[in-house]
Chain A
Amino acid sequence: MQATLPTTPSFDRAAERARVQRERRRTAMIDVLVTLGTIALALLVGFLVMLIVGKDPILAYSSLLGGPLSRTNRTGRWIEDATTLIILGLSVSIPFRARQFSLGAQGQMFMAAMIAAVIAIYVPMPPLVAVLLPLAAAMLAGFLVGLLPGLMKAYLNANEIVSTLMLNAVVVLLYDFLLTNVFTPPGSQSLRSEAIQAGSMLARFTTLLGVNLGRANLAVLFAAILVVAVWALLNRTPFGYEIRTIGANEKFARYGGINTRRAIALSFAIGGAIAAVAGVHLVLGVHQRLIPGIAAGLGFEGIVVALLARNNPLLIPITGLFYSYLRVGGDIMEQEAAVGTEIVLVIQAVIILLLTAQVLVNYVKSRSRPVRET
């Protein structure tokens, strides 16, 4: 018995593929436009706020938008901050892809900074190992700090927002405690640990290139490697497929045979391991010792970077560079125009609000929909 396949005479495979690709390019284009429009709108809101409070918005914005490129050391600050933010954005993107709101990056960074510093200060090591061992240990620590709320969410359905924020507070207090009572050498004037051993320091561009680029350092390479690694993890591995399926529809994923609990817990933990790299960057590259509040104020920055990039690892470098540009510009604006750098936080909030407002985004999309040719 031979079943005859239903024939579809009008189906042209090549044309269909071209149509799909055209459609895909078009949506990508719209996504980019929506994002740019959002940023422009958010900057406009900031502009209006300054106008209302009677500051000179033009002066403020020229230092906000021009500042980071006005001196090489400021550019260095931009690179340094972007490195941290790109890594943070990548870290957040993994649990976010699974629709898990893990906000634990703050605690993971502090824990990683501590572990990396302990090894880099007290354990004598040969050159390359002196970087890799603290890095590996810190990533393990970040993994574990991420795993705990991950397990709590996956197996006990404990609210991950509350658990990660509480864990952050605990880790930051622990960091404070250990820095005050253990790491600061007795008789030291200020609250800070000894410097890490020379072999553990990540080379700075200032010494490598002879241009004053501040504290920007080779951790840029970590960021670059992670971009590719996270992209591959999400798009080319079974685990990435599980994460994306859970993000699209958790019930479907479960019925489809995915061990959703394991995948969810792992998404938290892997995010933690990546956030740890940001902590390592801060210790081995930027400060080269432990200082109070080493990663303070970085808690939510990864979210906006990941969100602007729509959790797409390949776009995160761009949004990370953009957002750190705003942050560094904000500091310069505060010095030069006496407008608080916190306006950047306000702009950040507006960006998140607008980008998540589905109706606005869909409205823009529907307006740009071409007439179907049938």
Chain B
Amino acid sequence: MDQALQVIFSATFIAAVLRVSTPILLPALGGLISDLGGVVNIALEGIMLTAACAGVLISVATQSEWPGLLAGVVMGVLMALVLAFFHLNLKADLILAAIAINILASGGTIFVVFLLTGDKGSTSALVSKQMPFVEIPIIKDIPVIGPIVSGQNLLTYVAFIAVVLVAVFLYRTRAGIHLRAVGENPEAARSVGINVRAQQYLALGLSGLLAALGGVYLSMGYVKFFARDMTAGRGFIALAAIFLGGKTPWGTMIAALVFGAAEALSVQLGNLRIPNQLVQMIPYVATLVALVIYALVQRQRAIARQRKFRQTQTVAVGS
């Protein structure tokens, strides 16, 4: 137990939390935007997988990481737009279409990797590139904070900067406010002249962009190869993070960090003598518990709101 506690309160552990939170936080922010736009994106998982695969393959082909990043993002956004097209133009059920996208990504990536390498498991035989790790000049020399904040992957910084950007976009820009209006009540939004379909395309497109960054991080930062189904449910954990975070950017970030901590803990505990599988369960069990907690909180809020409403009613009648 002492050992476990020592592990948790070390700078390396906190640095690890930031590292493993990144591929949850990025898709979660994407999912948040899509959810607030009224078109919750269940295909985050598939989009991440596609981007992870495309990123590695292009970085192998060009022997440079930037074209890989670009290819990953383009493929991710493309997948999101396919989903948007099927849902918004062809009126396909959003959830079923997203499940199809996930299946397409899972099958398609393995199919392509097998074609190119003859190996179904991973691309570890290929020499792929990694996004750069950034040493921040002055900060890296500060004792405890240095090793945590400095030396992370570029995309980890992008993820946390994205929290701010998404918050500004959603609450401070015209497009963001329109997008939330559409999510809140599409008919009302339409009646004041907002183009609902365009807003939902934007919401899904942005969710694809952010999820794709998360996918590229997985295969070109977190590790240096693509492996079959390497997202391992992160796209769905990201969805849970949105709910747990109360559908706000900051809340989502905290939730992603909680899940990241659970996962980092499971990695660390794996070094001790606790069975591997039981430790791996932690993030999934945490997600289930989080779903229940979120639901209970929501219900309490609804009850409180109702009570408040009744009180104002009685006051109005009384006066």
**A interface residues with partner B (beta carbon < 8 Å):** 53, 101, 103, 152, 156-159, 161-163, 165-167, 169-170, 173-174, 176-177, 180-181, 300, 303, 307, 340, 342-346, 348-350, 352-353, 356-360
Given contacts A352-B99, A360-B90, contact A159 B108 (CB under 8 A): no
Judge whether A53 and B115 touch: CB under 8 Å: yes
Partner of A357, one of B86, B275, B281, B284: B86
Judge whether B281 and A173 touch: CB under 8 Å: yes
Closest chain B residue to A151, Cβ basis:
B292
Given contacts A343-B107, A345-B103, contact A101 B95 (CB under 8 A): yes
Query: How many B residues touch the partner, as a band?
Result: 35 or more
Judge whether A343 and B284 touch: CB under 8 Å: no
Judge whether B91 and A158 touch: CB under 8 Å: no
Closest 7 CB pairs of A and B: A345-B107, A156-B295, A349-B104, A352-B100, A177-B277, A357-B90, A358-B91
Q: Encode B203-247 as 1/0 by CB contact (under 8 A) with A.
A: 000000000000000000000000000000100110110010000
Given contacts A156-B295, A358-B90, contact A307 B96 (CB under 8 A): yes
Query: Is B178 part of the contact surface with A, judged by Cβ < 8 Å?
Result: no
Residues of B contacting A346 with CB < 8 Å? 104, 107-108, 111
Closest chain A residue to B104, Cβ basis:
A349
Query: Is B6 part of the contact surface with A, judged by Cβ < 8 Å?
Result: no
How far does the Cβ of A110 sit from chain B's closest Cβ, in whole Å? 12
Judge whether B243 and A169 touch: CB under 8 Å: no
Partner of B92, one of A156, A345, A349, A356: A356
Partner of B236, one of A101, A165, A181, A348: A165
Apart from A345-B103, A358-B90, 11 more pairs, CB < 8 Å: A166-B233, A167-B288, A170-B288, A177-B275, A180-B275, A340-B110, A340-B111, A348-B107, A349-B104, A352-B103, A356-B100
Query: Is B192 part of the contact surface with A, judged by Cβ < 8 Å?
Result: no
Query: Is B280 part of the contact surface with A, judged by Cβ < 8 Å?
Result: yes
Q: Once bound together, how far apart are the Cα atoms of A334 and B95, in whole Å?
A: 31
Judge whether B236 and A161 touch: CB under 8 Å: yes
Residues 258-293 of B at the A interface (beta carbon under 8 Å): 275-278, 280-281, 284-285, 287-288, 291-292
Residues of A contacting B106 with CB < 8 Å? 342, 345
- Chain A's interface: helix, strand, loop or mixed, by majority? helix
Residues of B contacting A170 with CB < 8 Å? 281, 284-285, 288
Judge whether A345 and B275 touch: CB under 8 Å: no
Q: Once bound together, how far apart are the Cα atoms of A303 and B292, in whole Å?
A: 26
How far does the Cβ of B290 sit from chain A's closest Cβ, in whole Å? 9
Judge whether A349 and B101 touch: CB under 8 Å: yes
Which of B288, B294, B296, B298 has its CB near the most chain A CB atoms (within 10 A)? B288
Query: Is B114 part of the contact surface with A, judged by Cβ < 8 Å?
Result: yes
Given contacts A356-B92, A356-B97, A359-B90, contact A173 B277 (CB under 8 A): yes
Query: Is B140 part of the contact surface with A, judged by Cβ < 8 Å?
Result: no
Which of B107, B233, B285 has its CB near the most chain A CB atoms (within 10 A)? B107
Closest chain B residue to A148, Cβ basis:
B288
Which of A156, A174, A348, A358 has its CB near the most chain B CB atoms (within 10 A)? A156
Partner of A152, one of B92, B278, B292: B292
How far does the Cβ of A268 sit from chain B's closest Cβ, in whole Å? 14
Residues of B contacting A165 with CB < 8 Å? 233, 236
